[in-house]
Structure formats: structure tokens, C-alpha cells
């Protein structure tokens, strides 16, 4: 999961660990204070050539997003910020001990979202600790960029410039897609929508730049991502069934850990037998697994296959956008039934 939504900027709720709005306002103020116009940074003679080159790529990706992907020409990605740290915010995801459904927090504009974002890592960990003491499964993850949905001029952050081309360009597409469409209270659909636009955009961008050889490598990475997500989806389904059973809590805890052990084993099988030893997900499995860790990844992949189908049926990105926008008046459940289902599946 990549994003801290506008809730982190405008939320007015005090909760466990202090007043949420104060840390959000302070963090956003730091971002704005340390951001500079990209042309100014590129023109500065002390700017390293590598930084100048990567910022040029960001500008080109932004123009491509507007001209070829029909994404909004707003205030985002016109500025650059170096905060001197690898992550801009840290997101906290939590679930009850025996549930794979995330806790949600509700804010103005953003609606109810399945995480809390903190600009300060210590505050995030303190909030997570309080939830853990209460009995929740908790996950804290660093986020290298975020979106304010066009309300503020979101910058390019320094760590992003170290990414490979497809990830950097794809992130620009992903975040601008959130400005094109955001449905309050439906984190799952919002993230899946942006992911579908990102993938379609990167493929078109590679083709437009004559990098057809890179499309196969990109598709391989997407295949692994889908298989990883499917593995987590399978585990989440098994856990949901377990938690709905009548087992006593002590026995349920044992079975819960067995499911996570099975997940690790299945990942190792994939890594050896289908991914040629690919180790990109090893760090994810190196940390202790729990419900919240699953939710932080799996939930946001659930709607992707269905939305890909909608894009194929629509025939163009603008038509795809219109179809998703048309579901604004539906409940999240109704919207997911219409957009997230795949042919022959649920």
C-alpha cells in the first residue's frame, strides 16, 4: 500500500497517541517548506546530473500522463522535495486478532479509510503499540510518497529518484489517477483503480519510447505480483473461514499460526519453482506475519482483475474512467459487485 490520503492533511480528530491533526499539519508544512519548483532545481548548477536527469524523466512522465492517459493537469509533480529520510509517512493498519477485515478511521473528504498515516515514525509506532496492547494485529509500513488528491502541490520526493524507470513513471501515473478519481470510504476500489491505470500507462509509455524489450520484463514483474497477491488472497480466505469457526481462542491461535506457516512455505515454493529464485518478496516474509500484514497488501489487489476487465470492455481510458465514475452513487458493496467481479468468478 503506497498512499496517505488527504485525511492526513485535514483530519480533525484526536485519538490514541495524541492529536492526529497536529502531526499531520506539521508534517505537511515540512513537505511544503522543503519543496522547490522542479525547473528551479534543474537549473541550479549544484544539482547533481543524476538528479537533473531523473527530474527530467518525471516531467516527461507527467506530460505523457496528461496527453496520453487523460489524467489531470493539476498542481502535483511540479515540485521536488528532499526530506532527508527514506519514507515520507508511516501507515498503520490494524485488524482484530481473529479477523482479516481492517479497522477503519473516518475523516472529512477522504471518508473512512483502512489505515492511519503519520509523518513521524515514532508516533506511528506508538499508535500501533497502543492498538497492539488492546489486542489487535498491527502493521506499520513506510510510505515513500502520497497523494493529497490535488488539494495541495504534491512533490516528487528524493528517494523516488533512485527507483527504476518503470516504478518512477508508474508512480506518477498512479498518483495522478487518484486525482482523476477518488471515492470516499472505498480504499480498495481507489487503490485498484490507480493500479490499473498505472499498469496500462507504463505499458503505453514503454511502447511509445521504443522500449518493447522492457515490456516483457515488466509483464514478468506483474505476473509475480499477481501470484503473490493470489497467495495472500488464498491465505486470507482460509483465515476468514477459520475465524468464523467455533474453535476456542487458544486453538484458533494455533491454527492461525499454522496458516501463516503454510503461507511462508507456499511462497518458498513459488520462489524456487516458478520465479527462478526471485527474492523480491523475501523481506516481506522476513517480518512477523499477522492479519494486518495480509490486509495491507491483499485488500488492495482484490479489485484489480475486475477493473482490468472493465478497461478492456470500455476500449479506452476515458471510457473506463466514465464507467467507474458512474458508480459514485452506489454503496461500496454494490460498486464492488459491479466492477470487481471477473468473468466466471465472484
Cα distance from N-terminal residue to C-terminal residue, the chain: 23
Reading the chain (346 residues) residue by residue, the pLDDT tens digits are 444 443 333 333 444 334 777 888 899 999 999 999 999 999 999 999 999 999 999 999 999 999 999 999 999 999 999 999 999 999 999 999 999 999 998 876 666 788 899 999 999 999 999 999 999 999 999 999 988 888 889 999 999 999 999 999 999 999 999 999 999 888 889 999 999 999 999 999 999 999 999 999 999 999 999 999 899 999 999 999 999 999 999 999 999 999 999 999 999 999 999 999 999 999 999 999 999 999 877 666 778 999 999 999 999 999 999 999 999 999 999 999 999 986 544 4
Specify burial of residue 111 (Cβ count, 10 A radius: 0-12, 13-18, 19+).
buried
Predicted local distance difference test score (pLDDT) of residue 299:
61
**pLDDT score at 346:** 42
Q: Which three cell numbers stand for residue 143?
A: 510510505
User: What is the pLDDT, as a whole number, of residue 344?
Assistant: 47
pLDDT of residue 184: 86
The CA-atom distances, in angstroms, between 9 and each of 13, 113, 182, 208 are 11, 14, 16, 36
Q: Taking the model in full, what pTM does it have? A: 0.85
Q: pLDDT digit string (tens) for 233-288?
A: 999 999 999 999 999 999 999 999 999 999 999 999 999 999 999 999 999 999 99
Contact 93, 295 (CB under 8 A): yes
State how far Cα 106 lies from the chain centre: 18
Alpha carbon 127 to chain centroid, angstroms = 20
Using one digit for the tens of pLDDT, what is the confidence trace for 283-308?
Answer: 999 999 999 999 877 666 778 999 99
Amino acid at each position: 500500500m503506497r498512499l496517505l490520503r488527504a485525511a492526513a492533511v485535514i483530519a480533525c480528530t484526536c485519538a490514541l497517541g495524541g492529536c492526529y491533526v497536529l502531526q499531520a499539519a506539521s508534517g505537511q508544512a515540512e513537505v511544503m517548506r522543503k519543496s522547490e519548483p522542479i525547473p528551479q532545481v534543474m537549473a541550479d548548477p549544484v544539482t547533481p546530473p543524476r538528479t537533473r536527469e531523473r527530474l527530467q524523466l518525471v516531467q516527461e512522465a507527467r506530460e505523457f500522463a496528461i496527453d496520453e492517459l487523460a489524467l489531470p493537469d493539476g498542481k502535483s509533480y511540479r515540485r521536488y522535495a528532499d526530506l532527508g529520510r527514506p519514507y515520507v509517512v508511516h501507515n498503520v493498519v490494524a485488524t482484530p486478532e481473529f479477523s482479516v477485515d481492517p479497522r477503519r478511521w473516518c475523516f472529512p473528504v477522504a471518508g473512512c479509510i483502512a489505515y492511519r498515516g503519520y509523518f513521524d515514525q515514532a508516533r506511528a509506532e506508538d499508535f500501533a503499540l497502543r492498538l497492539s496492547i488492546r489486542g489487535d494485529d498491527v502493521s506499520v509500513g513506510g510510505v515513500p510518497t502520497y497523494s493529497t488528491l490535488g488539494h495541495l502541490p504534491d512533490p516528487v520526493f528524493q528517494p523516488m529518484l533512485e527507483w527504476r524507470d518503470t516504478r518512477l513513471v508508474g508512480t506518477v501515473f498512479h498518483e495522478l489517477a487518484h486525482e482523476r478519481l477518488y471515492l470516499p470510504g472505498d480504499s480498495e476500489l481507489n487503490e485498484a483503480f490507480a493500479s490499473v491505470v498505472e499498469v496500462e500507462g507504463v505499458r503505453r509509455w514503454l511502447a511509445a519510447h521504443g522500449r518493447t524489450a522492457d515490456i516483457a520484463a515488466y509483464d514478468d514483474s506483474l505476473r509475480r505480483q499477481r501470484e503473490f497477491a493470489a497467495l495472500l488472497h488464498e491465505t486470507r480466505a482460509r483465515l476468514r473461514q477459520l475465524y468464523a469457526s467455533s474453535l476456542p481462542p487458544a486453538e484458533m491461535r494455533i491454527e492461525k499460526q499454522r496458516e501463516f506457516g503454510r503461507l511462508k512455505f507456499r511462497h518458498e515454493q513459488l520462489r524456487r519453482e516458478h520465479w527462478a529464485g526471485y527474492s523480491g518478496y523475501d523481506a516481506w516474509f522476513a517480518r512477523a506475519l499477522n492479519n494486518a500484514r495480509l490486509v495491507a497488501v491483499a485488500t488492495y489487489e482484490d479489485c484489480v482483475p475486475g477493473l482490468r476487465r472493465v478497461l478492456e470492455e470500455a476500449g479506452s481510458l476515458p471510457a473506463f474512467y466514465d464507467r467507474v465514475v458512474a458508480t459514485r452513487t452506489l454503496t461500496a458493496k454494490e460498486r464492488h459487485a459491479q466492477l470487481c467481479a471477473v468473468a466466471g468468478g465472484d
